[in-house]
Structure 1
Amino acid sequence: MKSLAAVSVLFLLMLAVILGNSAYINRVVDELAVTLQYANSENETESNTKLQALRTQWEKEKIYIQASVAHKKIDTVSDLITSLLIYKRYGNQEEYEKTAELLRFAFEELRLLEEFSAVNIF
């Protein structure tokens, strides 16, 4: 009977970790998406400041995210953020907009990969 209780507690603990991780990644992705949206400001200085904030925020959070997300996805987001900064710096608005859209899709993909579902667990 004790082993059944121990297994039940471990299962509930594992479930709590999975749900907590999913909630954490969703929160982080939402914050990053909002920062990206504000980075599309008409004001050049404000836009650059928001892009730097996006990069700083991502660098801080990716340490924790990479515990459950494939490194390839992490690298993709990092590369897209770097590309945004470069396109903004050199005034390539068309490539900036394309890359911003790719980054939005990458954020959505992170969210879907960490969504709590039977498909993602198994």
Structure 2
Amino acid sequence: MQSSRAAHRTIDQVDRSGRHAHSAINEYRRYMFAVAYRMLGSVADAEEVVQESFVQFLKNDVRGTIDNIKSYLAAMVTRRSIDLLRSRRRQREEYVGTWLPEPVLTDTHTTLDPA
């Protein structure tokens, strides 16, 4: 179980050398993976979202503006997961093949067997 001090670590304590950033990543990786996996249902997608979120976290210069790193990272993972789900839905909705009309029955004199 995490101490409240670790859970409320501020970005000010994360220096650009990456020493504290890597400990934050190791500390919250399992939690972030669990959030992404629950949303996406795929291990590969969840790992990709977590990795992209941590890379963006390290690139952002948000030191001193965040009180709770865990919540910040969870929000990043959640937004990226939603974006991935939306893009997948759009891909399924777009039909790239030739459009063909649905077949129409032309034989109206066919009798149905009542049995």
TM-score range, shorter chain: 0.3 to 0.5
Normalised by the length of structure 1, the TM-score is 0.32
Q: Give the greater-gyration-radius structure (CA).
A: 2
Normalised by the length of structure 2, the TM-score is 0.33
